[in-house]
Each structure stands twice: as structure tokens, then as C-alpha cells.
Structure 1
Amino acid sequence: MFVSCSDSQFLESHWNHPISAQGTPPSDFPALERNLNPKSCGTCHQNQFQNWEKSFHAKSISPGFLWQKEIFTKEEYKSCLNCHSPLAETKSEIDSNFQTPEIISSKSHNFPDGIDNPSILCASCHIRNQIRFGPPPKINKKIEQNSGRIPHNSYVVKEKFESSEFCKSCHESKETGVRLNGKRLMEVYTEWEGSSYAKDGIQCQNCHMPDREHSWKGIHDKDFVQNSLEPKWEVKKNNGVYQIKAELKNRGVGHNFPTYLVPKVYLRFFASLKSQNSRILLEESIVGRVVNTNLTEEYLDTRIKPNDSYKISFDYKPNENLVTELIWEIEVDPDEQYVRSFEEELKNRAGTLSYHSKKQLQESLYEKKNSRYILFTLSWKVPVSLRQ
């Protein structure tokens, strides 16, 4: 096991785009190690592969991404690929600019069966120039050698793999990027850096890769989000008026909740009426960062900082109706910005998009519209009034 220094230049070099083609595998590598298809990696790293396969990293090249190639400039699309498809070999699958003799040759050596998924693969993070990189071993133990050889010719240990800085390259907009109200479009690392989590040494990986799980759960996972938030409320009745106070606390997210400008969280309060056998909406709030589809103007930013709360207070006086129950419903829309933007694009470009791109856009829009879910439902039964 070769352990390198945790040098400050590692991440700059590791995420220096465009990443060079991997080239010819070492001559002593057997066929399994020569193949960079994640399925090959999964032969030994089964848990990591199974989690990755269901993750958004494995879906970074999706219809929602691909349709936009038709409307982006070559440079814009090339820039997007740095994070969505980091390897030169995977980029060549979706961008002809990367179909150079060197990259095509490397692809034939490292992906002998072709590339069926040009997304973020195992090699995107763990391999550079045929050298394997990874975090320190969890347990110091003797490596069993097979025929006198350590797999992959061993690997280079880098502590940065367990640092939030490792994620920054793709989850933080560049300093030169678009700013709205003084904020970049993505500032996950900056939000975390200023939080108590950073001061306490809690890294991105502690929450999104617990026990080195390769699933990177986030806003789309209901259980994951539920475990990070705490809703509290109280209802008092005074002279026929219901006084409602509620708060949603960010008790487990080490950055603003929700981060980015894409997701929105809706806090809705209802009253169930006995006379109408239905419920009416009393109050609705949005937690999130609301910007226009052109990404040129910010209208609202009500995101919750780490350990802070979003608070609501209002009164409700029924009009002759008998209230049987008050309900607080919290709904998460993980892809709200995409839905709004894609609907607008479909309307404005319906006549100019190619059939293939339009189909990809429609498919993605349908998927994102159906990603919403109810996070919490809290109810308060109105006490029965007894006859005096």
C-alpha cells in the first residue's frame, strides 16, 4: 500500500479539466482490471457498485441533460460535460469533439465492450493515467496477495477523498459564474464552510456517503430529508380564533436547505370543515430560492441555514363553519426549477427542436413533474365542545 502525502496540489491536479485519456492499461493487468466498466469494478466492490447504480451520479447523462445539446453552444456543452461526464472516454460517446484518435484508442483498451452509460463512473473519481486513487483503508490489515500481486498494483491513498473539498469542483459554481443578489448559482461548499458542521469537522461524505456508501442521497430521497428536518407547531384557540405558530428546523443539513435553486419546499396549512366535508387552504409558504428561468433575476430566497428555522405565525377565524381538524402539510418539489424551465422551453421551441431532442425534453419533463412527494403531514384535532 503506497501512501502519498496529502498535498495541496492533489485536487487541483485531479480535477484539472479536461481529464486526460487513461491510455493503455499496464501489461500485467488481467482482463477484469483492464476494463473500466463499473460492472467490472462491481465484481470486487459489490456494495459500492449496487449503490452507485441507483444513484444520480449514474444518471448524470439523462434525457434532461442530452436534449440541451441542441440549444447550447459548443463551449457551454463542453463545460457541462466536465461534471456530468468527466472522463475523456465517456465524453466521446456524446460529443464528437472528443472523438480523437488518442481518446478512441484509449476507449477501445479500457472499455472493450463499449460504454453503455457515459455518466459519472467509478473511474471518474478513482482513476487517473491508470493509477488508482482512494481514501485511507478503514482497517489496517494484511492484503492477501493473489499469485504474489496486489490488485491494481495497489492504489494511492489520498485523505482528500474524505474531504468536502473533493466535492467542491462539481458542487460549487466558479468565482466567475453568474451571481444573483451577490450569490452564485451553486454555493454548497461555501454554505457548508461557514457552518458549524465545517468547524466540527463534519464533511459532505459523513452525510451523503455514510460508511462510504456510494449512493449520495439528497433532496429526492424522502427518508433522507425527513431525518434532517424537524417540524414543530402549536395551535391555540382564543375567542373563536385559532392562533397557529409553526417552525421547520434545519437540524441535520450542513448547508442551506434546500441548496441550489432547483428544489422548492411548500408549507401548506388546511382546515377540515365538517359542514362541507372538505378542507380549505389557510396559508402557504415557499422555502427555497426562486429565480426566473433565464437565471437573471432572483425573486426570493427563504432557504434555511444550518441549525436555523423557518417560522410561520397566523390567525384563522372560521366563518360559521365547524372546524374538525387543522392540518400542516409539507411537500417537496425536488425539480421545480427544471419543470418551470422545461415547460417554457417546450412551449417556445416546439417548432424548432428536432424530434429526438423534443422527445428527450418531454420525457424528462414528465419524470421531473412526478418527483414531488409529501414530506410530513401534521394534524391537530379540534377538541370536542361539551354541552354546558
Structure 2
Amino acid sequence: MAIGSRPVECVALALTLMLTACGPDRSSSPSPAALPAVDDQSFLKQHWARPLAPQGTPPAGFGPLEVSLAPSACGQCHVRQFEDWQTALHSKAMGPGLVGQLQEMDAGAVDDHQACLRCHAPLAEQQTDLQQFLAGTRTAPSRPDGAAFTDGLTCAGCHVRQNQRFGPARRDGSGPAAGVVLPHDGWQVAAAFEDSRFCAACHQFEPDGYSLNGKLLENTYEEWRESRYGRENRSCQSCHMPDRRHLWRGIHDPEMVKSGVAMEFPEPSIAAGRVTAGFTIASRGVGHAFPTYVTPRVIVEIGQAGQDGALLPETLERHVIGRDVSLDLSEERSDTRLLPDELRRYRYSRPLAATAVALVARVRVEPDAFYAEFYRATLRDPDFIKGREALSAALRQAEASGYVLYESRQALATAQRPAP
């Protein structure tokens, strides 16, 4: 199942060695001009034709860094992008949860592998690396070309096809000039890298893809397209790659989530022995459903707290925001997600507890709630053996990914309490 600084020393000698490694002979290999005019959709159809084709034989003049598909090779020159990628979930797309499931598959089950790899580790060379790993014939931690399935969605996964580099124009709109010598023969300019449809290649199922209750299981691009963000062409990249940063922050990042939702908890009132309050949560900066996929769960809790700060169970109200589906993906039990610009109000009215001193509103986020339940169920299967260690590690990660997004405590004035 598919489903984010350190100082850099630059010295003349190191730079000379690095450029030498990129290939000493460029006299007969000028940088290419921009791609011929082509519409984004046609480019993307070819660029994301899965399974991706192997890179093939590299140009004769390429040095070791230019041949390599390893993210660390790209990071020799593209330092900030590499450091960002290391912190992003794209670099962890082949985490233990997915690896554990793949370990239960046969090495030759390429079609089954591709159901995951097409987005999580799309390079053909990564597929080969996985097959060797599953077959027990992987004799070294990395291949000569640097491709490793464990690296997940790499720089090359988006930017390299048949040993050519592709990417957006420079910030000023320019591309490599003809005849200018650049490492790896420069890059082919493609405007599609700034188009939301580039992200849709993995974050949107095809119209005939798997659906529940008439809704595609992965429908993020269409949710965006139907929102005002889509109508205003505020691309996925504008939020998830600000200033061209390769961060792709999302539901796992509290600050990213806080920037997209607004929450209010006005002072409660007490009358006739009851506490009454309201809590609002609004999707003010999320360009798709919140949360967009079936894996996260957002929990709104409102309840009275005692002197020790703990919530009193008999006073607690709990509301779930998310798309709740069965573990076998056969049923959608509920869909309480917020649509873009939607505001939701929760009303609280409960008897005032004798020991209550405050009313608390709390919002908790469990980014991997579905995964955690799925891993627990899978680990209960005694026949699940090969991937058990990896899946156990994935469960620990999923259980540790939750966080408190918001918490507010409003004092319950003792003067307002009814006489004993």
C-alpha cells in the first residue's frame, strides 16, 4: 500500500576535484538548449510513463558523479536541495512498513512490486536493487550506479531520464545557453515541474482507480483542482515547496498544519449547573481536504479538567476529523474531513463536574493512524515472518508520530458554581 544545516566548507582544491569527477572532457559535449515547445500534459505523460525505463548507457564523457543516481552525488553540487530532501518524507518513502510488506513477496513478483515502487522508488534501477535484495543476491550495500531502493523517491526519480537532467528554468526564467559547458550536460528546461499535475503523478489515482463510496482513495489533485486554490492556480509547489525548497512538509509537520488551519476556543459559560462552550476549526490555508488521505486522524477533544490538569473522563467529548476506512479497504465507515475553506463548529454542553477547574480544548494529530492499526493486525498473523522485524519498527514509528496541534484551557470560575 502506498500511500521530510550544517556548515559547508568550500575550498579551491575540493571544488577542483569535484568538477573533475563530473567529467574532464566537455569539448565535444555542449549543454543542450531548452526542450522544444511541448505542452505540460504531453511532457508529463512521457516523463511519468511507469514503469520508468532504465537510464541506459551514460555518455562517454560523464564522470562518476554524473553517472551516479545516488542522492548524495547530486548533493555534491546541489547542497541545499540534498539537505532538504534528507529531512523530507520523500527520502523515507521506502520505510520499514513498506519494506516489511515487500519482504513477504517473491523476488520475481515485479508487477506486485510496482504497485508500490511506481511512486515510492520509481527508478528501474531501484526495482533491480529490490529484486536482488529480496532474492538474497545483493552483495554490496549499493550498486555501481548508486541506485538503492531504500533511498525512496530520489533526486533522479523526478529529475533524471535516460541520463538527461530535467527541471524548471532558473528563477529569472532562463535556461542553459547553447554551447555553455555545464556539469552533466546541463539540464532540459520543463515548465511542468512547476505544474500541480507533476505532483498528481503520485498524489492522484486515475479516474478508474480504486474508490470507496464513489470517491477515489487518493484524490488530492482533484480536491485541489475543485477548490479556489485550483481555480486561482496556486500550485501544490507554492505551499509544499516554498522558495523552491525540497521539503514537502505535510500532516507530519505541526508547523505546516498550523499554517493551514485556524482554531478558536472562546470563554465558556456556566448556567443551571452546565458548562457550555464552542470550538471552531477552519481550513484556511489547505488546498485540499484536511486531511487528504485515509491514513491520518485528527482528534478534537473537549472536556473538563481537575486540579491536577487531567481531563475527567465523564466530561469528555471527542470528535474525529478524517476518512475512516476498514483495514481491508472494502468499506468507508465515515468521512468527516474538512474541505478547503470549510469552518466547523463543535458545541459542548455538559454538567459541571464537582472537581473541575478548567475546560480544555485539545486537537491531536495521528498522522499514521491507519498504518498503526494495519501493522498491528498484520503482526498478529503468525504466517507473517520475513518482514516481521521491519514491520515492528514501522509500528513503533507510526505510534510515535502523533502530536498535540492545539490546546487551550479556560478557567471555570468558582463564583459561577451552583450552591452545594
TM-score, normalization by structure 1: 0.89
Counterpart position of 2:6: none
Matched, 1:173 2:209: no
Counterpart position of 2:184: 152
What is the deviation of 1:277? 6.9
Counterpart position of 2:388: 358
- The whole-number CA distance in structure 2 between the counterparts of 1:108 and 1:238 is 71
What is the deviation of 1:71? 4.9
- Of 172-181 and 118-127, deviating more is 172-181
What is the deviation of 1:384? 4.5
Q: 1:67 to 1:59 in 2, by over 3 A?
A: same
Q: What amino acid is aligned across from residue 372 of structure 1 in structure 2?
A: G
What is the deviation of 1:141? 6.9
Counterpart position of 1:185: 217
Q: Secondary structure at the match of 2:201?
A: helix
Would the aligned equivalents of 1:25 and 1:109 in 2 still touch at CA under 8 Å? no
Q: Secondary structure at the match of 1:230?
A: strand
**Identity, % of aligned positions:** 31
Counterpart position of 2:236: 204
- Of 75-84 and 282-291, deviating more is 75-84
Q: 1:239 to 1:194 in 2, by over 3 A?
A: same
Counterpart position of 1:110: 145
Given candidates 312, 316, 323, the residue that maps to 1:289 is: 323
- The whole-number CA distance in structure 2 between the counterparts of 1:123 and 1:60 is 14
Counterpart position of 1:218: 250
- The whole-number CA distance in structure 2 between the counterparts of 1:98 and 1:65 is 13
What is the deviation of 1:26? 1.3
Q: 1:141 to 1:85 in 2, by over 3 A?
A: closer
- The whole-number CA distance in structure 2 between the counterparts of 1:116 and 1:373 is 29
Matched, 1:369 2:399: yes
Matched, 1:119 2:152: yes
Q: What amino acid is aligned across from residue 321 of structure 2 in structure 1?
A: V
- The whole-number CA distance in structure 1 between the counterparts of 2:396 and 2:344 is 30
Q: 1:97 to 1:379 in 2, by over 3 A?
A: closer
- The whole-number CA distance in structure 2 between the counterparts of 1:70 and 1:154 is 38
Q: What amino acid is aligned across from residue 215 of structure 1 in structure 2?
A: L
Counterpart position of 1:93: 129
Counterpart position of 1:9: 42
Q: Secondary structure at the match of 2:365?
A: strand
Number of residue pairs matched?
Answer: 373
Counterpart position of 1:103: none
Q: Secondary structure at the match of 1:215?
A: coil
Would the aligned equivalents of 1:271 and 1:325 in 2 still touch at CA under 8 Å? yes
Q: What amino acid is aligned across from residue 379 of structure 1 in structure 2?
A: R
Q: What amino acid is aligned across from residue 110 of structure 1 in structure 2?
A: D
What is the deviation of 1:143? 7.0
Matched, 1:385 2:419: no
Q: What amino acid is aligned across from residue 383 of structure 2 in structure 1?
A: T
- The whole-number CA distance in structure 1 between the counterparts of 2:205 and 2:159 is 22
Q: 1:9 to 1:326 in 2, by over 3 A?
A: same
Counterpart position of 1:102: none
- The whole-number CA distance in structure 2 between the counterparts of 1:33 and 1:98 is 28
Q: 1:98 to 1:159 in 2, by over 3 A?
A: farther
What is the deviation of 1:286? 0.3
- The whole-number CA distance in structure 2 between the counterparts of 1:161 and 1:187 is 20
Q: 1:240 to 1:331 in 2, by over 3 A?
A: same
Would the aligned equivalents of 1:219 and 1:225 in 2 still touch at CA under 8 Å? yes
Given candidates 310, 313, 318, the residue that maps to 2:344 is: 310
Matched, 1:262 2:298: no
Would the aligned equivalents of 1:325 and 1:380 in 2 still touch at CA under 8 Å? yes
- The whole-number CA distance in structure 2 between the counterparts of 1:67 and 1:374 is 29
- The whole-number CA distance in structure 1 between the counterparts of 2:309 and 2:297 is 30
Q: 1:23 to 1:56 in 2, by over 3 A?
A: same
Q: What amino acid is aligned across from residue 57 of structure 2 in structure 1?
A: T
What is the deviation of 1:34? 2.1
- The whole-number CA distance in structure 1 between the counterparts of 2:169 and 2:236 is 17
Counterpart position of 1:162: 194
- The whole-number CA distance in structure 1 between the counterparts of 2:120 and 2:143 is 21
Q: What amino acid is aligned across from residue 182 of structure 1 in structure 2?
A: G
Q: What amino acid is aligned across from residue 346 of structure 2 in structure 1?
A: I
Q: 1:79 to 1:96 in 2, by over 3 A?
A: farther
Would the aligned equivalents of 2:94 and 2:149 in 1 still touch at CA under 8 Å? no
Counterpart position of 1:236: 269
Q: Secondary structure at the match of 2:152?
A: coil
Counterpart position of 1:137: 170
- The whole-number CA distance in structure 1 between the counterparts of 2:73 and 2:159 is 14
What is the deviation of 1:193? 0.6
Q: 1:385 to 1:174 in 2, by over 3 A?
A: same
Q: What amino acid is aligned across from residue 331 of structure 2 in structure 1?
A: E
Greater strand share, 1 or 2?
A: 1
RMSD: 2.6
Which residues in structure 2 correspond to 1:28-107 (within 5 Å)? 28-71=61-104, 74=109, 75-96=111-132
Given candidates 324, 329, 332, the residue that maps to 2:357 is: 324
Which residues of structure 2 form unaligned runs of 5+? 1-31, 136-141
Would the aligned equivalents of 1:93 and 1:118 in 2 still touch at CA under 8 Å? no
Q: 1:358 to 1:308 in 2, by over 3 A?
A: same
- The whole-number CA distance in structure 1 between the counterparts of 2:174 and 2:209 is 45
Counterpart position of 1:104: none
Q: 1:382 to 1:160 in 2, by over 3 A?
A: same
